[in-house]
Amino acid sequence: MMKNIVIIATGGTIAGSGDAGKAADYQAGRISVSDILESVPSIRSLAHLKTVQMCNIDSNDMDEERWIALRDLIDAYGADPDVDGIVVTHGTDTLEETAFFLNLTLRHDLPVVLTGSMRPATAASADGPMNLYQAVALACSEEARGAGVLAVFSDTIYSGRDIRKSNSYKTDAFEIGHFGSLGYMRDDQVCFLSRSRRPRTCSSPFSGMEITHLPRVSIAYWHCGADIGILDHMCEHSDGVVLAGSGSGNYGSAWQTHLHELASRHFIVRASRVPQGIVFDSPIFDPQGDTIPAYTFSPHKARILLMLALLKTRDREEIRRLFAIC
C-alpha cells in the first residue's frame, strides 16, 4: 500500500530560477512546489503526495517566527493518522539550523526529511529533482520512524543534529565530519548504517513545549584584537551569548577577564569557530567555570539550544546539563 507523504515547501535554491541552463546567479524561492514536482514525474510512484506551500523565500530570510510556524505545521500533520511522513524543501544556507530546531522540538516520531539543492530548478543539471525524489523515498521508510529529523543530499542521509554545510558551491555541500553519515540512498532504496543516540523529537527535553517566541541569543565571534565592547553590547541586548572562540573555544586574556565579570549576570556559552572537535570546560581559559561548554555544537546550533534552554529554565546548572545530554 502506498504511503501518504506531505511535502512542505519553504523556498530555497530548489525553487530558484535564473537564466536557462545556468547554475549560478539566480533568485531563490521563485518556483512553486507544484511546478517542482512536475520535474520529477516518477516521484508519484513512491507515495500519495500532498503539497503545502508554507512560504517561498531565500533561506537567509528564515527566522525564529518561521521556525515556530514550521514546527507547528509539522506537528499538526504529525497528529493526522493518515500521514505517514513529511518532507520539507528548504534552502541550503540555513537548513542545518532549521533541522536542528525541529529535531529538538517536534512532538512525534514520524519520518521528517529536509532536502533542497545547490543548483536552481532552471539549471542544466539541477540536483533538486533527485534530492526530492530520495527525500520522499526516505520519508516512506519505516526505518526512518523514530530516527529524528533527517536530511538527504547527494545520496547521503544526515541527522538533523549533526548536519552542517561544508561547501558553498559543490552539489555535495554537506557533511557530518567525524560522526559520519547515517546512511545512503540508492535511487529509492534506503540504507541506514547508524542512528543518533542523542535525544531527538519526542525524546527531546524540549518536545511538546509550548513555543510562541524564543529568547534573544547573539553570537560573538572571537578574532585577534576583538573589541571587548562587543560582549557588553550583546549582553545588554540579549538573553544569552554564544562565543565563537578559536581552537577549543578559546579567546584572549582581556576577554577572559571581562567574561568573568559578565558571567555572574548573563548566560554565556563557549563554542568554537573550528568545524571539527569538541569544547569542554577549560581550567585555562575559564578557570572559574563561568561559561557553559558547547561540546560538539557549532556556534549557530549552540545558539538554538541556548534559546530553547532559556525558554525552559534560568537555572545555570540545568542549562549546563541540557548542553551535555543533547
* Domains delineated in the chain: 3-203 (3.40.50.1170), 217-325 (3.40.50.40)
Residue 3 C-alpha cell reads as 504511503
Q: What pLDDT, in 10s, does the model give residues 236-265?
A: 999 999 999 999 999 999 999 999 999 989
- pLDDT in the model for residue 65: 98
Least confident among 2-16, 101-115, 172-186: 172-186
Strands 149-153 and 112-115: parallel
CA distance 208 to 261: 36
Mean pLDDT to the nearest integer, 133-155:
97
* Mean residue pLDDT across the chain: 94
Say yes or no to pLDDT of 124 above 90.
no
Give me 80's grid cell.
Answer: 493526522
Output the pTM of the full model.
0.96
Q: Which residues contact 164 (CB under 8 A, 6 or more apart)?
A: 96, 174, 175, 176, 177, 275, 298
State the pLDDT at residue 21.
62
Q: How many residues does the chain have?
A: 326
DSSP code of residue 7 = E
Higher per-residue confidence, 67 vs 33: 67
For residue 264, CA distances in Å to 189, 268, 290, 291 come to 53, 10, 7, 10
Active site (annotated) includes residue 13: yes
**227 in helix, strand or coil?**
coil
Catalytic residue among 13, 92, 156, 171: 13
3-state helix, strand, coil in the chain (%, to 5): 35, 25, 45
Q: How confident is the model at residue 76 (pLDDT cuts 50, 70, 90)?
A: very high
Poorest-pLDDT segment among 63-67, 95-99, 193-197, 224-228:
193-197
Of the listed ranges 8-22, 124-138, 168-182, 286-300, the least confidently predicted one is 8-22
Q: Return the pLDDT at 23.
A: 59
**271, 249 Cβ separation under 8 angstroms:** yes
Over residues 99-125, the mean pLDDT reads 93
